[in-house]
Every structure is written in C-alpha cells, then in structure tokens.
Structure 1
Amino acid sequence: MDTEYKIPTETRIGHVHLKVSDLKRSLAFYCDLLGFELMMYYGDAAAFISAGGYHHHIGLNTWNSKDAPPATREGVGLYHTAIVYPTRKDLANIYKRLRTANYPNIGASDHGVSEALYLRDPDNNGVELYWDKPRNSWPKESNGSLTMYTHPLDLEDLLKEAS
C-alpha cells in the first residue's frame, strides 16, 4: 500500500444517514427545531433534509430501526453528527432557539478552534452544533501543530451575539 497517499484537500463529508425509530419525531427535531429543510420523502420510511436546498445533508430512515429503542451511549457506532454553522451569530441564534424551546441537557465547549453545543436527538444520537473560529486564531504550538482543548463555553457571552 502506498503510504505517501493523502486524501485530496478539497474532500468533504457529503451527508450522514441516520437510522431512526420514528420518522415524524425525527423530522420534528431536525426540521422544526433545528431548521433543516425537508427535500423529499423516500416512501414512508425515509426522508432527506438539507440546509440551503442541497439534495441532502442528512438522510433519516426507519428501514432497519422502526420503533427500535434509543441508541446506547456505550455501544459502538456514530459518536455524533457535527453540523457547522457559518458564524458565531448563527450558533448563538440556534442556542437561543434551543433555550426558548426548553431543550434539555445542552452541553457547551470552547475547543480553541471552535465553539460547540452538544445535544441528543430523539433517538439519543449525539448532535454537535458548532462554528469554526478563524484559522488565524487557532491555538498552536511553536512547531505549528494545533493545540485543541475543551474549556467551558461562556453561554451568556454567546447569547449576546443572538439576533
């Protein structure tokens, strides 16, 4: 195997497909609460949602999971889906929306390179909502390597950015 191969720098994650137990309940979370747009249903067991009219960023399906119990945090599988917001103000606005909806158990961290909110969807899948800080402000070692960390995020300061 060629050990010199590097994935192209323009490569990106196209979409995430989540197994859910109740399609309507998941659509209420991802579309009604988080604001994704329903692009289409695929029969009565799947739906595709996006931001900005893309064909889909997230697929939701009940093909093998209809009425299944919530995902366990201790099992193998997806740790979380990370959704990147364009600006800190956008992150502040979704945080304000979650607070207004009394959404439970929202975690929050400053990672030096980003600021993030953490929550669980109705099937107990992890969801990270975050924005990347400008690259020129990312903390680095003297050799140029990143120094990421996990510090508490000042949520009151974040809310000052909200519309």
Structure 2
Amino acid sequence: MSFKIDTKLELEHLHLLVQSLEEMTDFYKTLGLQILNKTANQVEFTIPGNTKPILVLSSNEEVTIRPPRTTGLFHFAILVPSREDLAYVIGNLLNVGVPVTGAGDHIYSEAFYLNDPEGNGIEIYRDRPRSEWISDGRGGLVTGTEAVDIEGVMALYDRNRSWTGLPKGTVLGHIHLNVRVINNATTYFYIDALGLDIMTNFHDSALFISAGGYHHHIAVNTWQGVGAPVPPEQTSGLLSYTLSLSSQEALQKLVENLHTHQIPHTLENGRLRVLDFNNDAMIFYVR
C-alpha cells in the first residue's frame, strides 16, 4: 500500500519576504489580521483572539519585487467559517476601499480575490458542506470557475455587525503556486514522497492536491508559462509555508518515506524542512 500523509494535516501559516514592511503591515491590518509579534525586520500576524501566526512578513534592504512570468506564489487562501462571514469580510473590505479583483464559484467553494501592495495574490473563501461536493467518480472532485452569486452573498452582509477583523475560526485554507512544469517529477514529489492525493487535474495545467479528502491544501499551476524561471534570491514573495501533523508517529512516517524516495530534507528541533520546486521551504511539525 502506498504511503499516505496524515489525514489530519492542516496548513498553519506562510512566510513572505516583502520590500516595504511598513506598507505591507498596514495592508494586512486593514485586511483584518492582528499583530502577534513585531520586530524591526519582521511582523507576525494572527487571527484576532488566536495565539498562533497565520502570516509572517520579513524584510531587508536587499529585497526587490518578484519579476513577472516567474514561479512562486499564485495566491494564499484565507478560509472563513461561513457564507455570512464571507459577506462580513468582503463587505468591510469594500467599505474601506480595498479593491476586489475577481470572484469565482468553484463548485465546492465561493471565493473572492485581491492582491496585496506587492502583488501577492489573496483568496478569501468559504467552503460548501462536504456533502455538496461533487465526486468525479475517480476519487477526486469536480471543480470549475463559475460566476459567484454576489447578490446572494452580499445579501447576508450585516451592516450592524461591527468590524473586529477576520472572524473567529478563520484559518489558512490552501496555498496555490506557480511552477515551471507539471510532470512525473511533480507527482513523484507530492504524491509518492509526501503522500498527498491529487483531487483534481485541471486541463493538465494545474493540480489540486490534498490530504484527508479536502479539495486542496496545495495547488500548482503553469499559468505563468511552461518553463517559467524561478525568481532570483531576495525577491519578494513566498519563503516558506508551515503544515502541522497530528502526531509524532505521523511525522516520523513522513520522514521515513522521504528518505525512501530520496527527497532531501532536514529534521531539527521537531521541524521537518523540505524544499519544493520553487525553492520554498515546506515545514512540517507536530501541533
């Protein structure tokens, strides 16, 4: 039987390298995140009322903006608990003038899209109940991009609900990456070595990958062009993303499988570090 990663895997937070720490900090405060810790060169954000980070920003004097048509972060996705919460967040962002650049009904979710000041994509979405997700008959899920019922969503916006930031229960839902190519090496890394499952192959240009039957924790696409280069070091964008496992046994089994499949990795102080195809670090630990 092939190895499967812990079905209780969760995304914890992502770490971005930014050029303007001040401007980006102001933006993410407006977005509804709360500062957890702050130094001269780094800010950790959390969901109001939480004690774990969901986003970390770091900066230094050498950072330049990621060039176009390169690999890296396509977007990170903030999952809110309900459709009412989605209306609450989007309504308040529009009230303060944060532009929403798009929206999509993906069959299993309803999503709105925007960009931060340095061009990092952000998705804010809510999931439909799993009972409403549509199987593709091959162990995966049907997805697409249809028009969101914006009127239906925004009809739930309660103007009397005071803005206190992203609502309780909000989490990092998934990470979506631009990559050079999708091929056998891609599936070997994510499926054979990491033990994840392909939930959707979208026209051979994107894979939606998950643990435990979720629609996706990680997606990869070639929409910046097949063969797009990895950006130079010290350019803005994703540095790492952290995923948590439910037990020490699950972590050890993952380490053993990476060793079996000859995937370079390090394990130090309980944190397993693996580089993905964009040279971004995937960090696994036991929560």
The TM-score with structure 1 as length reference comes to 0.88
CA contact (8 A) 2:94 2:100 kept: no
**Distance in structure 1 (CA, Å) of the matches to 2:76 and 2:68:** 14
Q: Give, in angstroms, the shift of residue 21 of structure 1.
A: 1.1
**Distance in structure 2 (CA, Å) of the matches to 1:115 and 1:72:** 30
Question: Matched residue of 2:113: which SS?
Answer: strand
CA contact (8 A) 1:72 1:124 kept: no
**Distance in structure 1 (CA, Å) of the matches to 2:52 and 2:89:** 22
Q: Give, in angstroms, the shift of residue 65 of structure 1.
A: 5.3
Larger Rg: 2
Q: Percent identity?
A: 32
CA RMSD of aligned residues (A): 1.8
Question: How many pairs align?
Answer: 157
The structure-2 alpha-carbon separation of the partners of 1:73 and 1:94, relative to structure 1 and needing over 3 Å to count, comes to farther
The TM-score with structure 2 as length reference comes to 0.51
Alignment counterpart, residue 95 of structure 1, candidates 90, 96, 104: 90
Q: Which runs of 5 or more structure 2 residues have no equivalent in the other structure?
A: 159-287
**Map of 2:2 onto structure 1:** 4
**Map of 2:119 onto structure 1:** 124
CA contact (8 A) 1:23 1:46 kept: yes
**Distance in structure 2 (CA, Å) of the matches to 1:65 and 1:118:** 29
**Distance in structure 2 (CA, Å) of the matches to 1:158 and 1:73:** 33
Q: Which runs of 5 or more structure 1 residues have no equivalent in the other structure?
A: none
**Map of 2:21 onto structure 1:** 23
**Map of 1:111 onto structure 2:** 106
Alignment counterpart, residue 47 of structure 1, candidates 29, 36, 43: 43
**Distance in structure 2 (CA, Å) of the matches to 1:160 and 1:65:** 46
Q: Give, in angstroms, the shift of residue 138 of structure 1.
A: 1.0
**Map of 1:60 onto structure 2:** 57
Greater strand proportion = 2
Question: Matched residue of 1:93: which SS?
Answer: helix
